[in-house]
Structure 1
Amino acid sequence: MSLWYDEHLVLIQATMVSVLFALSIQVPLRFGVFSFAGVGSYGIGAYATAILVTRYEYPVFGALAAGALAAALIGYGLAWLLQRLSGLYLAMATVAFDLLVSVLAVNGGEVTGGATGLFGVVADVTTLHIFLVTVVVLAVVAASEHGRLGRKIAVVREDPELSAALGIEVHRVRRAAFVASGTLGGLAGGLNTAITTTIAPGNIDFALIVLAVTMIVVGGASSWKGAVIGAFVFTWLPTVLAFVGDWKGVGYGIVVAAVAIWLPGGVVGVTGDALRKLTSRRRTARLPDRESPAPGPAGPSRDEAPQGNRKTHPQEQT
């Protein structure tokens, strides 16, 4: 077990970072906000951490916090800028934001390292640190799916007009989704830079947007569990498909296409539907058959016969 852990340590760390990254896309979708700004926030957090550590010798955890905060603030401003957009138009605008971050990284000169990026980000981040951060984030996100907050988010997602009629500030909820996405994306990007010691524009290009979408499509956007499943699948899938060699991309595409066709709600959605159907069948099986007679004597006794149908003996009439 120890040997396997040592051999796959990089993948284990990458999986936890991927969970945070996938959550940066899943959380706004659960709010009803069709946004991929988490990808751009990932780049902001990654570069902010690298710049602060290499240029200004910041402690790594301070740099991580600063990167996440910067991404959250930019996400808040982006929410104000795009508050009139929704649906596909909002998604396109956030994709443009992601590509803009990549372009700025390429043209950032010495600050961002240009097309080659930044190297030598020395950080003492351990697997335990990443694990604790991931667990805390998952606990907070899972808690937001239940209780009053969870019901509020569900109403805003399903019917914004009804939410406004009930006194819920829909725009405020949308801004909170952008801030949460920015924080999670910035944190994931910073942690990835800390464990790989490098960041380059090629790490935050359009391929990262595609990866984010496939994670959520496969796992499911309805719950944090979908983000976790998607992160695990697409972090380990290249290793699993390594035996096919140059056909790895084909196998990758087949997996994604199969899930999109046969699991339209993602793994979490299909599993939830199956569990609900199974629970419903069990409840139906436990209900008594209403058409079958109740257990008891075949008919009423002479003394229990209704008075209207009871024949009176001649002697009883006198």
Structure 2
Amino acid sequence: MSDWYSMNVVLIQTTLTTLLLALSIQVPLRYGVFSFAGVGAFGIGGYTGAMAMVHGEWSTWPAVLLGTLVAGVCTFLLGLVVQRLTGLYMGMATIAFTLIISVLAVNGGDWTGGAMGLYGAIGEITTMHIVLAVLIVVAFLAWTEYGRRGRKVDTVREDPELANALGIDVNGYRRLSFLISGLIGGLAGAITTLLRSTITPSEVNFHLVILALTAIVVGGARSWVGALIGAVIFVWLPTFLSFVQEWEKVAYGFIVAVAAIYLPNGVLGVVKDLWHKSRTRDERARVAVGLQEKS
């Protein structure tokens, strides 16, 4: 087991940070907000944490905390600015936010390292540290998915007019989704950057939006479990597809297309459907046995 861990420690860490990135996109979607601001928050958190260590000589976790908080505040302010937008226009505005962060990083001079990026942010982060951070985030999100809180979020997403009629502050919930998204994205960016000890503008770009969105679509958009499934698939899939060599990207795209067409609720949705059918079948069998005994 220890040998397997030593050989795959980078993949394990990448899976966990990808999960955080995917969750930063999934949270707004659960609230009915088509936002990709979490990717911009990833860049803000990464650059802020790196600058704190390189220029301010901060230690690891204060730098991570600073990056997380700055990203959360910036994304929340963005939510206030674009809160009147919906659908595709919201998505375009938040993608533009991500691209602006990349442009600012390129033109940041010595503070951001310019187009070459910022190097030397060597953080003391272990896999266990990342696991603890992910567990805290997942525990909070799981708390919002069930019971009365989960029903409110579902109502805000599915029927905003009904939610308003029931006295639920729809706009307040949506602004909250930007804050949560920014905090999670900033945490992902800060941890990823201090793990690699470097960050460049090219890392904060549209490809992260595609990665996070496809992970959610394939895994499932309604729960953190779906984001976990998607993160595992897209981090580990290239390892299992290495045998196809130059056809790897074609195979990767084919799997994504098939999943998008035939798994509208993601892998998690399929698992839930199978579980529901199994329980229904067992329940029917018990009822049939009971009727036979009575007769």
- TM-score per shorter chain, which class? over 0.9
1:70-97, Cα deviation, whole Å (9 max, x unpaired):
1111111111111111112211111111
Task: Tell me the residue number matched to 1:194.
Answer: 194
Work out the CA distance in 2 between the residues paired with 1:272 and 1:261: 18
How has the CA–CA distance of structure 1 residues 288 and 77 changed in structure 2, closer, same or farther, with 3 Å as cutoff? same
Which has the higher mean CA deviation after the structures are superposed, 222-231 or 247-256? 247-256
Which ranges in structure 2 are unaligned for 5 or more consecutive residues? Answer: none
Task: Tell me the residue number matched to 2:45.
Answer: 45
Work out the CA distance in 1 between the residues paired with 2:178 and 2:78: 8
Q: Which residue type is aligned with residue 135 of structure 1?
A: L
Matched, 1:99 2:99: yes
* Alignment map for 1:205-224 (pairs within 5 Å): 205-224=205-224
Deviation of residue 244 (structure 1)?
2.0
Task: Tell me the residue number matched to 1:131.
Answer: 131
1:115-174, Cα deviation, whole Å (9 max, x unpaired):
110111111111111111111111111111012211111111111001111111111000
Work out the CA distance in 2 between the residues paired with 1:291 and 1:190: 61
Work out the CA distance in 2 between the residues paired with 1:44 and 1:220: 27
Task: Tell me the residue number matched to 2:274.
Answer: 274
1:237-289, Cα deviation, whole Å (9 max, x unpaired):
12222222222211111111111122111001122122222222332333349
How has the CA–CA distance of structure 1 residues 292 and 188 changed in structure 2, closer, same or farther, with 3 Å as cutoff? closer
Deviation of residue 35 (structure 1)?
0.8
Which ranges in structure 1 are unaligned for 5 or more consecutive residues? Answer: 296-318
Work out the CA distance in 1 between the residues paired with 2:33 and 2:269: 19
Work out the CA distance in 1 between the residues paired with 2:279 and 2:87: 34
* Alignment map for 1:54-93 (pairs within 5 Å): 54-93=54-93
How has the CA–CA distance of structure 1 residues 197 and 286 changed in structure 2, closer, same or farther, with 3 Å as cutoff? same
Which has the higher mean CA deviation after the structures are superposed, 75-84 or 278-287? 278-287
Q: Which residue type is aligned with residue 16 of structure 2?
A: M
Partners of 2:33 and 2:86 within 8 A in 1: yes
Task: Tell me the residue number matched to 1:109.
Answer: 109
* Alignment map for 1:1-318 (pairs within 5 Å): 1-288=1-288, 295=295
Q: Which residue type is aligned with residue 134 of structure 1?
A: V
Partners of 2:144 and 2:150 within 8 A in 1: yes
Work out the CA distance in 2 between the residues paired with 1:289 and 1:233: 41
The secondary structure found in structure 2 opposite 1:8 is helix
Work out the CA distance in 1 between the residues paired with 2:90 and 2:53: 34
Q: Which residue type is aligned with residue 252 of structure 2?
A: Y
Q: Which residue type is aligned with residue 254 of structure 2?
A: I
Work out the CA distance in 1 between the residues paired with 2:274 and 2:265: 12
The secondary structure found in structure 1 opposite 2:162 is helix
The secondary structure found in structure 1 opposite 2:163 is helix
TM-score (norm 1): 0.89
Partners of 2:48 and 2:67 within 8 A in 1: yes
How has the CA–CA distance of structure 1 residues 191 and 291 changed in structure 2, closer, same or farther, with 3 Å as cutoff? closer
Work out the CA distance in 1 between the residues paired with 2:292 and 2:6: 65
Work out the CA distance in 2 between the residues paired with 1:189 and 1:292: 61
TM-score (norm 2): 0.96
Q: How many residues align?
A: 295
Work out the CA distance in 2 between the residues paired with 1:17 and 1:256: 21
Task: Tell me the residue number matched to 1:303.
Answer: none
Q: Which residue type is aligned with residue 265 of structure 2?
A: G
Deviation of residue 292 (structure 1)?
8.9
Instruction: Give the share of equivalent positions with the same residue, in percent.
Output: 51
Q: Which residue type is aligned with residue 220 of structure 1?
A: G
The secondary structure found in structure 1 opposite 2:110 is coil
**Larger-Rg structure:** 1
Work out the CA distance in 2 between the residues paired with 1:289 and 1:242: 51
Q: Which residue type is aligned with residue 206 of structure 1?
A: F
Higher helix share: 2
